[in-house]
Structure 1
Amino acid sequence: MATEKGKVLQQMNEAFVHGDFDNVLEHVTDDIQWTQVGGPFVKGKEAFREACREMGWHGPDTTLTIHSIITHGLTAALEGVVEMIDKNGGKKTYAFCDTYRFNTFKNGKIKEIRSYVIRIKK
């Protein structure tokens, strides 16, 4: 049975791949910190929104497969695969794992995300 935080993370990631960033932003604090390992560091809600847009993982041809969601206290992790069609019509596949830290135990918002992403070449 999925926890409330697990449901929020699933909903948020589904909204992300569909480009529904208003929905994503409902679940983060104003001072959100996003570390993309090997990539940029983002701080603040508006910078987070812009970074999400620039990432390009959203669109009608993007699919998300979530393999697991683990929640415990103020922390959580979600791992899965995103498949997308790039602007040149080529298919790209990425495996990812995000770790999360919430600001409160119950009904909290996400204050930190750390993302690990690997492109899978088939």
Structure 2
Amino acid sequence: MNDMTTEKEKFLREFNEAFVAGDVDFVAESITDDIQSHMVGDQLLEGKDAVVQRLNSMDAEKHHDLTIDKIITHGKTASVNGVITVESKKIHFCDVYEFNSFKNPKIKKLTAYVIEE
């Protein structure tokens, strides 16, 4: 595993932890201004402001547990899958990411597949 892959994996772990914790600042710093974030079957958010607004509207007061099963990176694309537990509900997810560059990447496209158990 090369250093760039390790850095991307670390970044994606931190990004997912920040998202679940409602760390709006970290998420905002990690995405491009023209991001497209699509939760399949739900909505397409276009632009950083829309993503930040959605994150601000989420209930960060509830306790969330995040378990990441796999992080796969390849070039300017990556995928993360795992489970978020909110109270007694389990939310299984697989997110597919596209970065704007190889070095110091920011997320420019995110497609999320989510199944609630």
The Cα of 1:55 is off from its aligned counterpart by 4.2
The Cα of 1:60 is off from its aligned counterpart by 5.3
Give, as a single letter, the amino acid of the residue that structure 1 aligns with 2:26: N
Q: What TM-score comes out, normalization by structure 2 length?
A: 0.91
Which sections of structure 1, spanning at least 5 residues, go unmatched? 86-90
CA offsets 1:95-114 (integer angstroms, 9 cap, x no match): 00000000011111110000
Q: Which has the higher helix share?
A: 2
CA distance in 2, matches of 1:53, 1:96: 20
In structure 2, the residue corresponding to 1:118 is in which secondary structure? strand
The Cα of 1:16 is off from its aligned counterpart by 1.1
CA distance in 1, matches of 2:101, 2:57: 29
Q: What TM-score comes out, normalization by structure 1 length?
A: 0.87
CA distance in 2, matches of 1:5, 1:45: 20
CA distance in 2, matches of 1:54, 1:95: 20
| Aligned residue number for residue 64 of structure 1 | 66
The Cα of 1:66 is off from its aligned counterpart by 0.2
% identity of equivalent residues = 48
Which residue of 92, 100, 103 corresponds with 2:100?
103
| Aligned residue number for residue 77 of structure 2 | 75
| Aligned residue number for residue 13 of structure 1 | 16
Query: How many aligned residue pairs are there?
Result: 114
For the aligned residue pairs, the C-alpha RMSD in angstroms reads: 1.4
In structure 1, the residue corresponding to 2:35 is in which secondary structure? strand
